[in-house]
Amino acid sequence: MEIDIIGDIHGCLEEFRALTLKLGYSWDDGAPVHPQGRILGFVGDLTDRGPLSLEVIEIVYELSVVRQTSLYCPGNHCNKLYRFLQGNNVQIAHGLETTVAEYEALSTRGQKKIQKKFIELYENAPLYHITDNGNLIIAHAGIRQDYIGKHNNKVKTFVLYGDITGAKHSNGMPVRRDWAQNYQGEPWIIYGHTPVPEARKVNHTYNIDTGCVFGGKLTALRYPEMELVDVPSTMPFVPDKFRTSFD
């Protein structure tokens, strides 16, 4: 299988478009198509904070649900938006406010359409993908080796939020353990969730969230070539949002 897996997009449609063009996809059909039949993968967090979250949903819905030429798995932001669109009382914060503002600017009919699409996209997606005969795993915040193949609540929390301890840093950010250091498996695990200045390879894992929405870049991993391709962000740089130490 030949797949280009893209990090957290967070509404950065322009960078997503630029990155897929750089990867050789054409947008002549209104959504990215590769001439050699490569497909796209998404580590989740399509929306929130960036300027065009709903359009990113439209494209990923078209690819994942309609054409079935991409593999999408949800991130924690997707999970929260899903709960919002189902009518649950969720806190409109941490970036969700921009997606909700786009949504509320639509007509009732427009709202119903995007609501239906996102719910379908989300409900059709597995918690994480195990693909290429078990050689490739795509999971939003990664997955611990002993959790692979499992889907209980502990696994769900890990895949969506990472290896959290329950403690918080002085800036309010949850403490996340560096689970990748302990991963000894053969299958490649491709994930995002924690913005890093450069894509980070540890054992057979890659974190490809290079903080596009915080002014970093949008990164893709070309599999099985294991080549990184990126485009610069158009967003203002927020250095505090990047994790630079792992001890």
Residues of this chain that bind Mn ion (CB under 5 A) = 8, 45
Is residue 242 within 8 A of residue 211, CB to CB? The reply is yes
The minimum distance between CB 208 and Mn ion, in angstroms, equals 11
How far out from the chain centre does Cα 37 lie? 22
E strand segments, the chain: 3-6, 39-42, 70-72, 129-131, 136-138, 164-168, 174-176, 188-191, 200-202, 205-207, 217-223, 227-232
The minimum distance between CB 45 and Mn ion, in angstroms, equals 3
Question: How far, in Å, CA of 22 to CA of 247, rounded?
Answer: 35
Residue with smaller CB distance to Mn ion, 10 or 117: 10
Which is nearest to 32 in space by CA: 54, 66, 59? 59
Tokens linked to 116: 């239906």
Helix or strand (DSSP H, E) at 118: helix 108-124
The minimum distance between CB 37 and Mn ion, in angstroms, equals 29
Residue with smaller CB distance to Mn ion, 12 or 136: 12
Tokens linked to 190: 């491709």
Residue with smaller CB distance to Mn ion, 45 or 163: 45
Is residue 60 within 8 A of residue 20, CB to CB? The reply is no
The minimum distance between CB 8 and Mn ion, in angstroms, equals 4
The minimum distance between CB 2 and Mn ion, in angstroms, equals 25
Residue with smaller CB distance to Mn ion, 45 or 62: 45
Buried b (16+ CB within 10 A) or exposed e, 19-35: bbeebebeeeeebbbbe
Residue with smaller CB distance to Mn ion, 70 or 194: 194
Residue with smaller CB distance to Mn ion, 135 or 157: 157
The minimum distance between CB 44 and Mn ion, in angstroms, equals 7
Which is nearest to 58 in space by CA: 48, 49, 47? 47
Q: Give me the sheet containing 129-131, strands edge to edge.
A: 129-131, 136-138, 188-191, 205-207, 200-202
Residue nearest to Mn ion (CB): 45
The minimum distance between CB 62 and Mn ion, in angstroms, equals 22
Residue with smaller CB distance to Mn ion, 45 or 102: 45
